[in-house]
Amino acid sequence: MSGLDSGDKMLAEKLLAVQRVLASLGVDSDARIRLNLRFMAICASLKMPGADTVRILRRLDRLMTDAELAAGDGSDQV
């Protein structure tokens, strides 16, 4: 990661953190699938020309919050 600027490094760290949270979630399979689909959509949006890093970081923050909420209450409402 030596050639990355601070925004790219922050994005890479956030992607890794979200991936780790999703991998360790103890929620039902429907909630896990929905959360992982959202993560894949965010990752796919990174490849689009003109991808807005700030918007992607906000989406990752919302996904992380939703994952933590799902894990905390055992709900599949994600």
Tens digit of each residue's pLDDT (9 = 90 or more) over 24-70: 999 999 999 999 999 999 999 999 999 999 999 999 999 999 999 99
Each domain of the chain, given as residue ranges in start order, spans 27-72
Cα separation, 32 vs 49, whole angstroms: 29
DSSP 48: S
Q: What is the pLDDT of residue 74?
A: 57
Neighbours of 15 (CB within 10 A): 17
Cα separation, 67 vs 62, whole angstroms: 9
The two three-digit tokens of residue 2, written as one number: 């030596």
Whole-model pTM above 0.85?
Answer: no
Phi, psi torsion values for 71, nearest 5 degrees: -70, -35
Cα separation, 53 vs 74, whole angstroms: 31
